[in-house]
Amino acid sequence: MKNKLFYLLLSVSVIIFGCKKIDFDEASKGEALGTFSLSAPQNNAMLVLNSATPNAQVQISWSAAKPGVSTAPTYTFVAALKTGSLTQPLLEIPSDDNGKSNKLTLTQKQLDDALKGKGVAEGAKTDLIWNVRADNGTKKEMASLSYNISITRFGDGISNFLLYGPVSSANNIEINPNSTTDVLTFKWQKAFPGKSTNPVTYKIKFVAEGGSFDAPIFEAASNNSGSDSTFTISYQAMDQMLTAKGFSDQSSAAKLQWTVEAKSGTYTKTSDYVNNLSIVREVKLFMVGGATPIGWNPPQAIQMIPDKNLPGTFYSYVYLTQDGMKFLSENTDWSTPSQKIYGKGSADGILLQSGGSANIDIPAAGYYRVSADLKNNKYYIQQGRMAAVGAATAAGWNPGSVFPTQALTLIGTNKFMGFVTLTAGQEWKFIDGAAWGDGTANGSKDFGKVKGKTDGSITQGDADNMTVPGATALYRLIWDGTNIKNLKYQITTGTLYLIGAATAGGWDNNNAALPAMSYQGNGVWRVTANLTAGEFKFLLQKGTWDYSYGAGATAGTVVDGGGNLSVATSGNYTITLNEFTKTYTVVKN
């Protein structure tokens, strides 16, 4: 049985191998061709050819068909009317590289000319089906799934154009919502039409960040009835638009995006890019009234400092007399249409926006921190003070112990000066209360260096500590909020000197013979020295001319920098300087 099975298998193998050459010859009439699929444009794409950009490219692509052994196929793009058949195509165009590439690149004009050659009318939309025919010489293969596409021939058109400004940025643009004279200007590149008989007009569109321009929150024709490539809108109109569209919180950033839609005849096109826009409506608040240094004079009203940590809240450090005051939205006349007047409401501390609101009464003259919270309609009249706190001070980081030993004195609206002994190498900050702030409008505020800056800029809350710049000594500290948008501090050595030709040290700002003044307290300095007839000034720190006092506008006053002072005759003099009041006296003994 075993031998029979062996001979049976042997005879079958002889038959198989004996027929192998004949079977191969019969089947080997050409190479196989692998399947492939279309890629782009996507199925059901709509392509509107732009007569203003005839050289713009249209690219058609598909996956490569794998050859059977070695013969690579060539490709032909074929398209037929959607109602027709690809066996009778309207268009047949070889792919790039003489048909070797699996993509076809045409200019819009080439495609338009091809359709024109087939009798498609100018500006007409044609619905097509398309595919690609792969051919390796012995076999032809098409992608398994044909795609639909609609192509509109050249008619009206618009060239590509870019947005110029405001440039796309996450940084805030601050606007005054009450201003009718200040404007935002939007600019973009001028586009040209495909047909000169149909000039281009423009429309600007705004959406909330991430929104759809198919449903803009605001749109408007550009300047000159839509013919200009600019659009201007007043700050007030922009504020009103934003408020009407749900951005009612003026102090919070309105995150927007904008683009421009151009139109020529029946053709529309948007700018190549979309720009981001972040707007903060810079609400301003001013103080006015008989209690304030400027009286009831709105054009001279005192602008308040916006609270960095509490948008919509403002504060000022100011000397007030026993009288009344109010808040204004502008330092303009009472009757200005956009003017908002705030006074006392139903009780002390309640803020009411009304022309008939009551005055806010100040019970006694003194130094105050005045705060107004527009979001919660509250105001606060508190003691106005400032001090140094930190490891560099005797009280350490304990705000409860800084007054009065480490206190500064209010020497002008939003400006403090004081003299504090600080420890070498240690850190400190400013604080205006006897406790750390709790984040409320009437809580304490602390101030440190703006991170990454060395120009003396300070800010609330998240800030760096200041470091004592020299040896343990008495230092002059200045907190300066006179520029409400750029709070600053200054630290200099506490000792004052006389300098100039009238002194033994001359004009050498590092001379050991410069007469040193002694601090008497309350900002007062005094020195008795022999002077020769000549000029002099007050030097705040040896080795530099950055800080000095010289002659003010009126006799007996000094200002920062200032002109030279003088004594007419030589002799022994007692000179007194009050840094807080910026006054001085010269008495010959």
**How much is the pLDDT for 14?**
32
- Judge contact between 444 and 402, C-beta under 8 A: no
- Judge contact between 310 and 393, C-beta under 8 A: no
CA distance 392 to 356: 50
Asked which of 7-11, 106-110, 231-235 is least confident by mean pLDDT, the reply is 7-11
Asked which of 17-31, 49-63, 434-448, 517-531 is least confident by mean pLDDT, the reply is 17-31
Tally of CB atoms within 10 A around 98:
8
Write the pLDDT tens digit of every residue in 51-88.
989 999 999 999 998 886 678 899 999 999 999 999 99
Is the pLDDT at 582 greater than 90? The verdict is: yes
**How much is the pLDDT for 478?**
95
Cα 96 → chain centroid? 47
Confidence at 311, pLDDT banded by 50, 70, 90:
confident
The type of residue at 532 is T
Confidence at 476, pLDDT banded by 50, 70, 90:
very high
CA distance 506 to 514: 7
- Of the CA atoms within 13 Å of residue 351, those in its CB half-sphere come to 24
Backbone CA torsion sign across 546, 550, 553, 556: positive
- Judge contact between 231 and 204, C-beta under 8 A: yes
User: Which residues face 111 on adjacent strands?
Assistant: none
**How much is the pLDDT for 68?**
67
Residues 6+ apart with CB under 8 A from 1: none
The type of residue at 318 is V
**pTM: predicted TM-score of the whole model, two decimal places:** 0.64
For 575, counting Cβ atoms within 10 Å of its Cβ (0-12 exposed, 13-18 middle, 19+ buried), the class is buried
For residue 175, give the nearest of 281, 269, 288 by alpha carbon: 281
**How much is the pLDDT for 249?**
82
Is the pLDDT at 33 greater than 90? The verdict is: no
Q: What is the mean pLDDT of residues 452-464?
A: 92
What are the backbone angles phi and psi of residue 22, rounded to the nearest 5°? -65, -45
CA distances from 147 to 38, 106, 130 (A): 8, 18, 5
Write the pLDDT tens digit of every residue in 334-383.
998 888 999 999 999 999 998 778 999 999 999 999 999 998 999 999 99
With vertex at residue 546, the alpha carbon angle to CA 545 and CA 548, rounded to the nearest 5 degrees, is 70
Q: What is the mean pLDDT of residues 542-562?
A: 93
Asked which of 23-37, 102-116, 286-300, 420-434 is least confident by mean pLDDT, the reply is 23-37
**How much is the pLDDT for 411?**
92
Strand 386-389 to 427-431 pairing: antiparallel
Confidence at 17, pLDDT banded by 50, 70, 90:
very low
**How much is the pLDDT for 18?**
39
With vertex at residue 415, the alpha carbon angle to CA 403 and CA 488, rounded to the nearest 5 degrees, is 100
Write the pLDDT tens digit of every residue in 157-173.
999 999 999 999 888 99
Asked which of 97-106, 217-226, 303-312, 499-508 is least confident by mean pLDDT, the reply is 303-312
Concatenating the DSSP letter of every residue in 510-521 gives T-TTSPBPEEEE
What are the backbone angles phi and psi of residue 68, rounded to the nearest 5°? -65, -55
**How much is the pLDDT for 312?**
86
Write the pLDDT tens digit of every residue in 332-343.
999 988 889 999
- Judge contact between 219 and 204, C-beta under 8 A: yes
In 57-208, the DSSP E strands lie at 57-62, 74-81, 91-94, 103-107, 125-135, 140-142, 147-152, 163-165, 172-175, 183-188, 201-208
**How much is the pLDDT for 19?**
38
- Exposure string of 256-295, with b = 16+ CB inside 10 Å and e = fewer, is bbbbbbbbbbebebbbeebbebbbbbbbbbbbbbebbebe
CA distance 517 to 529: 10
Q: What is the mean pLDDT of residues 520-547?
A: 94
Residue 114: its H or E element = helix 108-117
**How much is the pLDDT for 303?**
97
Write the pLDDT tens digit of every residue in 247-276.
988 878 899 999 999 999 999 999 999 999
Tally of CB atoms within 10 A around 482:
12
Is the pLDDT at 561 greater than 70? The verdict is: yes
Q: What is the mean pLDDT of residues 518-533?
A: 95
Residue 588: its H or E element = strand 583-588
The type of residue at 398 is N
Is the pLDDT at 13 greater than 90? The verdict is: no
**How much is the pLDDT for 40?**
95
**How much is the pLDDT for 30?**
55
Is the pLDDT at 243 greater than 80? The verdict is: yes
**How much is the pLDDT for 102?**
95
For residue 409, give the nearest of 314, 460, 476 by alpha carbon: 476
What are the structural domains, with CATH classification, of the chain? Answer: 38-152 (2.60.40.10), 163-281 (2.60.40), 286-383 (2.60.40.3620), 386-493 (2.60.40), 497-588 (2.60.40.3620)
Helix (H, G, I), strand (E, B), or coil: what is residue 120?
Answer: coil
For residue 318, give the nearest of 249, 279, 353, 366 by alpha carbon: 366
Backbone CA torsion sign across 565, 568, 570, 572: negative
Cα 178 → chain centroid? 21
Q: What is the mean pLDDT of residues 551-567?
A: 95
Is the pLDDT at 452 greater than 50? The verdict is: yes
Greatest C-alpha distance within the chain: 149
Is the pLDDT at 388 greater than 60? The verdict is: yes
In 24-115, the DSSP E strands lie at 38-40, 45-48, 57-62, 74-81, 91-94, 103-107
CA distance 584 to 108: 83
**How much is the pLDDT for 539?**
96
**How much is the pLDDT for 577?**
97
Confidence at 282, pLDDT banded by 50, 70, 90:
confident
